[in-house]
Structure 1
Amino acid sequence: MIDMPPLQFAHVNGIRMGFYEAGPKTDTPPLVLCHGWPELAFSWRYQIKALSEAGIRVIAPDQRGYGATDCPEPVEAYDIEHLTGDLVGLLDHLGIDKAIFVGHDWGGFVVWQMPLRYLERVAGVVGLNTPHTNRAWADPIELLRARFGADMYIVQFQDGAHEPDRIFGSRVEQTFDFFMRKPLPRNDAPSAEPPVAGIGALPKVNLAFPQIVASYDGKLDPRQPFLSSEEMQVFVDTFTRTGFTGGINWYRNMSRNWQRSADLDHIVRVPSLMIMAENDRVLPPSAADGMEKLVPDLEKYLVRDSGHWTQQEKPDEVSAKLIEWRRRRFG
């Protein structure tokens, strides 16, 4: 297992944020690595090491509600305005003018929002698996409910009784054993549904994740895990301590985010890179089709034979592409 840099803390945007930093402080613009759900800054451990050894300054926070960072109680404290404001506050704390924001999964959604809201603080954006999309034509939760039903995990996450949080929190090791595996070969997997505007594509598979986890037996799962036992323990120990509510609260703000973005210009006006994973069932490469209309300065790169957890499944390839693109576009 790769060691992380020392954990540091910053008081930003009303919370205490834990973050990791490596590489020369003189390097600019630095890369800020933003994780998804259910993950941590630790998910970027390979990239932190590779980029810093290449002379690139890199910063990876545990985001709001995760790991070493505070977990406020109000659901509204996890809307996109807070999440992007946290990253600006982190730049302010470190005395950084502009950064390249790199985001995977939910972190990808956050970093694509950064140039829409704080263009003067953004040098570039990299989306890992998560594409930038235009604003949905209707409330995204209602669109998901209409297409996939009430059992779809994002729809379930809207439950005010926090039943999904309880299921995951009472079965932490089971939860990560289910999620952190490579997908089956592509010819064994069902195709994706057509994309929903503003949401993207989702697979024709069972998306009732809380119920799957509740009855899951890893011994019967033909998919191969990609974490070592020591790496798995980091996730299990951390989420045993924190629970899952903070991260799930990000999903509980999807309707609020949609409502409050009606007047936002969704064109991304900075150099951008979209890294896609060939076998991601939830965020397939096809979800990035047409991004060029919203991101004029866009480069795309496909990581083959990788599922959803791209920076951990294919760490060397992801790190190499980040280093190459950063050097070519920013020196």
Structure 2
Amino acid sequence: MTVPTMPPASFVEVNGIRMGYYEQGTGPAIVLCHGWPELAYSWRYQIPALAAAGYRVIAPDQRGYGLTDRPEKVEDYDIPHLCGDLDALLTKLGIDKAVFVGHDWGGLVVWQMALLHPDRVAGVIGLNTPFIPRAPMDPIEIMRQTMGENMYIVFFQNYGVADKILKRDVRRVFESLMRSSPVTYEDFLKLPAEQRRFDFIQSFEGPAPAEYPGRLLLEPEELAFFVETYERTGFTGGINWYRNFTRNWTLSEGVEQKVTAPALMISAADDVVLPPAMTEGMEQYVPDLEKKIIPACGHWTQQEKPEETNRLMIDWLKRRYPAA
């Protein structure tokens, strides 16, 4: 597969930071929001396809990532800031509304955009990440009680620790993480509980294995892009998003958990982190919802199965948010 080139980067001042973003095409606006440890570059296969389908595609490096500023304060990475960045980005670009597409952490952000800035949201496409209603208690405590202190999200709460571990060998991080799933979701559920706790960060402190399970999803030039970027920026900005789980939970008290915009949920059958089962019951909170599942696909859906991802997105967009 030929690796698409990114459009030229642009920059804009939004919400107190300088944000880098990539833009291609004309027509109704679509904003692509990446997850961790990703970049706007994660959407390299979607940007030209969506532009060719008649859309104005905008893919920002979000707060803390890539070309965009990395504020020092942890609380500057909470949901109001992350959504505020996207709201301000639309204003600066002269856009009234957009369809927001989010993968992984970006998915959490775009669902919250629909709650906090509904006037800006023409639609939502969740890629792997379902709408997750407000938890009955602090989500970090839930994860700590169910998966332990070393589960990666809980471990991230120790400021600076995981950041240093990951920065030691950035290439190893991406060669290890951005791979196809070595097991089906069904086989993952059969593993012992201690092998399903997502406590992988500490593994980067020991010697690298002779080989990693699964297929590396990055061509050499793609791997180099991620490695060179994170060697420059480090991982702290993105990890700070995780350090706001408790703060976000507190701030969300009283926010109605109802998405009024039309939505598409695309799951990956073998994503063991965000499995399709997590979408069960979403209709209660997202009444205008379509759900699709990409078979034989792991967590990095838009990079592992770009053609399937593009096809599902464009089909929904043409029906629900048609280009002129």
TM-score (norm 1): 0.93
Aligned to 1:166: 164
User: Cα 1:204–1:191, aligned 2, differ >3 Å: closer, same or farther?
Assistant: farther
In the alignment, which residue of structure 2 is the partner of 1:56? Answer: 55
Structure 1 SS opposite 2:36? coil
Match of 1:5 in 2: 7
Cα distance in structure 2, aligned partners of 1:70 and 1:223: 33
| Equivalent residue number for residue 215 of structure 2 | 224
What's the Cα RMSD here?
1.6
2:168 partner letter: S
Q: How does 1:109-128 map to 2 (within 5 A)?
A: 109-128=108-127
Distance 1:12 1:43, change over 3 A: same
Deviation at 1:57, TM superposition (A): 1.2
Work out whether 1:22 is the aligned partner of 2:24. yes
Residue 217 of structure 1: CA displacement?
Answer: 2.6
Q: Bigger shift: 60-69 or 183-192? A: 183-192
- Contact 1:156-1:164 at 8 Å conserved across structures: yes
Cα distance in 1 between the residues matched to 2:240 and 2:138: 17
Displacement after TM superposition at 1:171 (Å):
1.3
The 8 Å contact of residues 9 and 20 in structure 2, kept in 1 or not, is answered as: yes
Q: Which runs of 4+ in 1 moved over 3 A?
A: none
Secondary structure of 2:230's aligned partner: helix
**Aligned-pair CA distance for 1:188:** 7.9
Partner Cα separation in structure 1 for residue 194 and residue 308 of structure 2: 25
Partner of 1:199: none
1:252-305: CA deviation from partner (whole Å, max 9, x where unpaired): 000000011011001000100000000001000001110000000000010111
C-alpha distance in structure 1 between counterparts of 2:263 and 2:203, whole Å: 36
CA distance in 1 between partners of 2:88 and 2:235 (Å): 24
1:10-34 Cα distance to aligned partner (Å, 9 max, x none): 100000000000011xx12x11000
Q: Aligned in 2, Cα 1:38/1:68: closer, same or farther, shift over 3 Å?
A: same
Is this contact kept in 2: 1:34–1:63, CA < 8 A? Answer: yes
C-alpha deviation, 1:44, in angstroms: 0.2
Q: Match for 1:141: what amino acid? A: I
Are 2:250 and 1:233 equivalent residues in the alignment? no
Kindly provide the CA deviation profile for residues 39-94 of structure 1, in whole angstroms up to 9, marking residues without a partner as x: 00000000001111222111000000000000000000000000000000110010
Unaligned runs of 5+ in 2: none
> How much has 1:156 moved relative to structure 2?
0.6
Taking the TM superposition and a 5 Å limit, the aligned residue runs for 1:1-331 are 1-24=3-26, 27-28=27-28, 30-160=29-159, 162-186=160-184, 189-191=187-189, 205-215=196-206, 217=208, 219-331=210-322
Deviation at 1:216, TM superposition (A): 5.5
Cα shift readout 1:154-199 (whole Å, capped 9, x = no counterpart): 1110003x11000001110111111011011417832189xxxxxx
The residue matched to 1:52 in structure 2 has which SS? helix
Question: Residue 156 and residue 292 in structure 1: after superposition, are their counterparts in 2 closer, same or farther (change >3 A)?
Answer: same
User: 1:187-226 CA deviation, whole Å, 9 max, x = no partner?
Assistant: 7832189xxxxxxxx9952422221222363533231111
Q: Percent identity?
A: 54
Q: Tell me the distance in 1 between the aligned counterparts of 2:131 and 2:197.
A: 25
